Amino acid sequence: MVELDSQLRELAKQQGAGTPRSGWVKTVRLALGMNSATLGRRIGISPQGVRRLEQSEAEGSISLNTLAKIADGLNCDVRYVLVPRISLVDQVMARATEHSKGAGSMGAGSTPMNIDGQSLVVLASLLSRIDKRAFW
């Protein structure tokens, strides 16, 4: 978990301003100087179909399979990742601490904790005594 946490932190640092207003598909297509007819031919749909898919991607309603098909037509790969708002270790540590104190569920505004070697030992001890299915 600590290694994944570190990788996700690095990824979060690399994230820019977010998704372009018109979506990634249209932005990349236009950056390549490709029209919707050409992309449509590459993926086997009409230019109108391309524009509908671009719209659904911009709205966030496109499926990952469809997005992958369009990306292939643009000679791109699709990558997606869940980036935690606070570190995974901090989330687990806070929840484990709540369980050890008999507290309720973790609130969305929980404050991240500084995790050191001793804290990880405490966390491991707490987790070994908790019913994992009822943890969250």
Domain chopping of the chain, boundaries: 16-73, 88-134
Q: How confident is the model at residue 102 (pLDDT cuts 50, 70, 90)?
A: low
Q: Choose among 133, 97, 125, 127: nearest CA to 112.
A: 97
Domain range 16-73, its CATH number among 1.20.1070, 1.10.260, 1.10.340, 3.30.1370:
1.10.260
Angle of CA points 73, 77, 78, to nearest 5°: 110
Does residue 109 carry a pLDDT above 60? no
Q: Can you give the pTM of this predicted structure?
A: 0.63
Q: Which amino acid is at 112?
A: P
Residue 4 near residue 11, CB atoms below 8 Å = no
